Structures are given as structure tokens and as C-alpha cells.
Amino acid sequence: MYRLVEIIITGIASFAATNLDDIIVLTVFFAQVNSSFRPKHIIFGQYLGFIAIIIMSLPGFLGGLVLDKKWIGILGFLPIIIGISKLLNRKADETEVQTVVEEINSSHPGASFMSIFNSVISPQTYKVAAVTFANGGDNIGIYVPLFASSNLTKLGIILSIFMVMIAVWCCIAYQLTRNPVVANILTNRGDAIVPFVLIALGIYILIDSETYLLLTPSK
């Protein structure tokens, strides 16, 4: 039971730490409902883009099946490095989010390859998915070591939590469109917390994978 709670907390923490900026992006999308988007475009697009991020991260899990867990755990340094980088470059992160928001407001779904998807999904849905995926560089850097240190059961639980958290994120973003003051507070305070969550997640991966045993002389 304790192990299950531990996995659930890890899943929620890793999702929240890597997707806090997505709340701002989703809020911008939901603010355009009825003018440019429908809620279904945003929700489905968010799932589509996030699933693409997960697929890009799965090689970490596959590597974990063939490599010793202790060596896989070394990847836990990635979240630590990303967390430290965020601490040292908070201004750059804020500029990056602002750039994404500006691209949402100024871009139009008219790229040449867009027509390939038009028969399957709407341009609005693809636009949300593309922004979600493009904004997921840090996600992949965190999820690869997290998935690599997981067995099939743990991976299934974490992915299930991620799917639920996407819905929660969409609900939060929709509510924030009605209260922009809360959105600003969440952004400012969240940027200060996220680096420490990422560092803690990296330390958890190192400990959970027993990577520290590599430093212990073998008998």
C-alpha cells in the first residue's frame, strides 16, 4: 500500500512540475473559446500532444528492461540538472512561456503539412497538440529517467495518473479564464517551486534505482 501511494505521489509531482507552464498556455486557449476554439479542440489537442510526448519518452522504459536498474538510475541526474538550470534561468523560462503565448495568439493553422491532418482532426485540435508537444522538451527530459526506473506496473500507474491529470489541468485552466488574478499568482509562485520539485524527483530516482550502490565497493 505504501509503495502504491509513493508511486501516485511521484506521478502527480512529476506531471505538475513539468506542466505548470501548460496551465498558462491552456488558459490562453480557453480564453479564445467561441471565437477560435471549442473546448473539445483544446481537450483533445492536449491529450494528443501529451501522448506524443509520452511516446518520445518510452525508449527510456525500453532501455530499463535490458539495462541494470542501478545504471538506469544515473538518468536521475537529468531532472536535477534541469531543476538547477531553472533556478539559475528563471527569467529565460518566463520569456519562453511568453513566446509560446504570443505564438498562440499570432499564428494561424495554415502550414502546408496541416492538410494531411485535416481529414482526421480539426486544425484547431492540431494547433493545440502542436503547441503542447513543442512545449514539452523538459517533459521528455524528466519522463525518460522516470520511465526507465519503472517496471510495467509502475509505468501503467504513472501513465494513468498522467491521463487523469491532463483532465484536471484542463479544468483548472478553464476556471482560471474566469479569474486571471489567480493565474498570475500560480505562475509567479509556481516558477519558484518547480525547480525544487524536479531536484527532489531526480534524487528519488537515484535512490529508488539504488544507484548509490555503484559507489559502494563490491565485495
Q: What is the 3-state secondary structure (H, E, C) of 174-193?
A: HHHCCCHHHHHHHHHHHHHH
Q: Domain for residue 161, yes or no?
A: yes
**Average pLDDT over every residue of 39-46:** 88
Helix (H) or strand (E) holding 62: helix 59-66
Q: Domain for residue 218, yes or no?
A: no
- Domain count for the chain: 1
Q: Domain for residue 217, yes or no?
A: no
Closest CA to 142 of 35, 57, 21: 57
Closest CA to 206 of 75, 27, 95: 75
Q: Domain for residue 182, yes or no?
A: yes
Q: Domain for residue 95, yes or no?
A: yes
In this predicted structure, the answer to whether residue 3 has a pLDDT above a threshold of 90 is no
pLDDT in tens, 165-206: 999 999 988 888 777 666 566 555 656 776 787 788 778 777
pLDDT grade, residue 54 (50/70/90)? very high
pLDDT of residue 164: 96
| Burial class, 177, CB count within 10 angstroms (exposed 0-12 / middle 13-18 / buried 19+) | middle
Measured distance CA(77)–CA(93) in Å, rounded: 20
Q: Domain for residue 215, yes or no?
A: no
pLDDT of residue 156: 93
pLDDT in tens, 118-149: 434 677 888 888 878 877 777 888 888 888 88
Residue 65 is part of which domain span?
A: 2-16+23-210
Q: Domain for residue 219, yes or no?
A: no
pLDDT of residue 116: 41
Q: Scan for cell 508511486, then name that residue.
A: 7
pLDDT of residue 187: 56
Q: Compute how many other C-beta atoms are within 10 angstroms of the C-beta atom of residue 2.
A: 6
pLDDT in tens, 66-122: 566 677 677 778 778 877 887 887 655 555 555 545 554 554 444 444 444 443 467
Q: Are 95 and 83 in contact (CB under 8 A)?
A: no
In this predicted structure, the answer to whether residue 53 has a pLDDT above a threshold of 80 is yes
Q: Are 97 and 183 in contact (CB under 8 A)?
A: no
